[in-house]
C-alpha cells in the first residue's frame, strides 16, 4: 500500500468525477480500472467530504490538516489519522494522485 506523506500534495484523479448532489459528495468513476462494476458509485462521509474539497493539487496534506484544525474541534492527531485514512483509501482506489507541487 502506498504510504501517505504529510508533505505531499494530492489531487483528484482525472479518472473520476466528483459531484455534489443533495448534500452528498458522489464520486463517479469514468475510466477503466476504477469502479468497473455496473452502477458503481462512491460516497464520502463527512470527514471525507471536508478533506476532498481541499484536495486542490496545490496545498500539501499538512497544510490541509492545519486548515481543518481551525474549522473542527478535533485534535491534530485525530485529524492526521483521519486524513491519512481517507487518502489511503482514495489512493488504493486510484481516485486521487500525488501531484507535483506548483
Residues that bind other proteins (CB under 8 A): 17-19, 21-24, 26-32, 35-36, 38-48, 50, 72, 74, 78-79, 82, 85-86, 89-90, 93, 95
Q: Report d(CA 67, CA 29) in Å as an integer.
A: 28
Cell of 2: 502506498
Closer of 19 and 101 to other proteins (Cβ): 19
CB of 72 to other proteins, least distance (A): 6
The distance of closest approach from Cβ of residue 21 to other proteins in the complex, given in angstroms and rounded to an integer, is 4
Cα distance between residue 18 and residue 27, in whole Å: 4
- Decide if 35 contacts 42 (C-beta within 8 A): yes
Q: With CA atoms as reference, report the closest residue to 51 among 15, 101, 91.
A: 91
Looking at the Cβ atoms of 23 and 102, the one nearer to other proteins is 23
As measured in angstroms, the least distance from the Cβ of 22 to other proteins is 4
- CB closer to other proteins out of 1 and 21: 21
Q: Given the C-alpha cell 477503466, which residue does it identify?
A: 32
Amino acid at each position: 500500500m502506498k504510504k501517505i506523506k504529510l508533505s505531499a500534495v494530492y489531487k483528484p484523479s482525472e479518472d473520476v468525477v466528483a459531484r455534489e448532489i443533495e448534500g452528498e459528495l458522489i464520486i463517479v468513476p469514468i475510466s477503466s480500472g476504477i469502479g468497473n462494476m455496473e452502477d458503481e458509485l462512491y460516497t464520502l462521509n463527512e470527514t471525507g467530504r471536508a478533506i476532498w474539497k481541499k484536495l486542490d493539487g496545490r496545498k500539501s496534506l499538512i497544510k490541509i490538516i492545519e486548515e481543518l484544525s481551525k474549522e473542527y474541534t478535533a485534535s491534530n492527531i485525530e485529524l492526521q489519522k483521519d486524513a491519512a485514512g481517507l487518502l489511503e483509501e482514495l489512493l488504493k482506489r486510484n481516485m486521487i494522485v500525488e501531484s507535483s507541487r506548483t
